[in-house]
């Protein structure tokens, strides 16, 4: 029989160089400190974000596709994951500034095969969430694509969200527009999407405007085989 021993370090912390042995860290009562796995991947430089408003990472509202239902060849967001690459989306959010005559908003995040944006879109380069990392994403991304792209074959749904404006029954967008947020921490797991795959997002509402963001971890597929 062996005992597992950790070092009580709540305040005085030492950090070793890469490759050196380290002690397990615990509170003074022996409770281990455990780092979130996605935070560990962020420290490794393996987590990225894509976002768009009126422009790539814009701070003003952009205009979504304007359909009241999912149009599989008109994407509000499309992340293209190539062969030999695996992505794990872990957070998706949509912030609406207005939506039109139907007074409802449906947000969908899905994965699938095939699919590409219309040539008219906002191209976004994935940003590494560790700002000094030399690692770049193998994925490509775009937002606010026009109709008549290449249709996506949906293979699975990651998130459905919905909102109805019933403040006064008038189409004036005077109600509180709740942000739509999906988090892998809330649902308990992140999908493991082995490329080639697509991850697509839609904000289904007539004449909707707002912003959209996806955060994901990315690894070579050989790392999870």
For residues 19 and 103, state if they share a domain. Answer: no
Q: What whole-number distance in Å separates Cα of residue 44 and Cα of residue 184?
A: 19
For residues 67 and 117, state if they share a domain. Answer: yes
For residues 12 and 112, state if they share a domain. Answer: no
For residues 17 and 120, state if they share a domain. Answer: no
Q: What whole-number distance in Å separates Cα of residue 116 and Cα of residue 185?
A: 29
- Residue 213 covered by a domain: yes
User: How would you class 217 by CB atoms within 10 Å of its CB: exposed for 0-12, middle for 13-18, buried for 19 or more?
Assistant: buried
Confidence of residue 6 (pLDDT cuts 50, 70, 90): confident
State pLDDT tens for residues 32-65: 888 899 999 999 999 999 999 988 998 888 888 7
Confidence of residue 184 (pLDDT cuts 50, 70, 90): very high
Residue with tokens 């995040």: 109
| CB-based contact 49:126 (threshold 8 Å) | yes
| CB-based contact 151:72 (threshold 8 Å) | yes
For residues 110 and 85, state if they share a domain. Answer: yes
How confident is the model at residue 168, as a pLDDT? 47
For residues 118 and 11, state if they share a domain. Answer: no
CA quadruple 166, 170, 171, 177: dihedral sign: negative
- Residue 39 covered by a domain: no
For residues 92 and 189, state if they share a domain. Answer: yes
- Residue 68 covered by a domain: yes
Total domains, the chain: 2
Instruction: Report the candidate in 90, 137, 85, 147 with the shortest Cα–Cα distance to residue 116.
Output: 147
Domain of residue 4: give its range.
1-34
For residues 190 and 109, state if they share a domain. Answer: yes
For residues 21 and 93, state if they share a domain. Answer: no
For residues 84 and 14, state if they share a domain. Answer: no
For residues 21 and 125, state if they share a domain. Answer: no
For residues 72 and 110, state if they share a domain. Answer: yes
pLDDT at 162 over 70: yes
Q: What whole-number distance in Å separates Cα of residue 85 and Cα of residue 139?
A: 8
How many other CB atoms are found less than 10 A from the CB of residue 134? 7
| CB-based contact 136:209 (threshold 8 Å) | no
Instruction: Report the candidate in 194, 121, 204, 113 with the shortest Cα–Cα distance to residue 159.
Output: 204
């Amino acid at each position: 029989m062996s005992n597992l021993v950790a070092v009580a370090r709540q305040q005085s912390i030492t950090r070793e160089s890469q490759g050196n042995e380290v002690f397990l860290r615990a509170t003074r009562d022996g409770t281990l400190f455990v780092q979130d796995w996605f935070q560990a991947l962020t420290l490794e430089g393996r987590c990225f974000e894509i976002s768009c408003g009126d422009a790539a990472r814009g701070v003003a509202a952009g205009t979504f596709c304007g359909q009241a239902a999912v149009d599989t060849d008109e994407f509000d967001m499309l992340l293209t994951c190539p062969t030999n690459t695996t992505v794990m989306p872990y957070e998706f959010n949509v912030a609406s500034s207005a939506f039109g005559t139907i007074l409802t908003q449906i947000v969908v995040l899905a994965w699938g095969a095939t699919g590409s944006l219309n040539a008219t879109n906002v191209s976004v380069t994935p940003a590494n969430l560790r700002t000094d990392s030399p690692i770049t994403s193998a994925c490509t991304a775009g937002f606010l694509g026009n109709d008549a792209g290449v249709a996506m074959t949906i293979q699975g749904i990651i998130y459905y969200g919905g909102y109805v404006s019933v403040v006064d029954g008038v189409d004036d967008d005077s109600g509180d527009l709740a942000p739509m947020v999906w988090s892998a921490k809330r649902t308990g797991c992140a999908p493991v999407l082995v490329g080639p795959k697509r991850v697509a997002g839609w904000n289904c509402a007539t004449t909707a405007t707002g912003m959209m963001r996806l955060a994901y971890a990315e690894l070579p597929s050989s790392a999870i085989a």
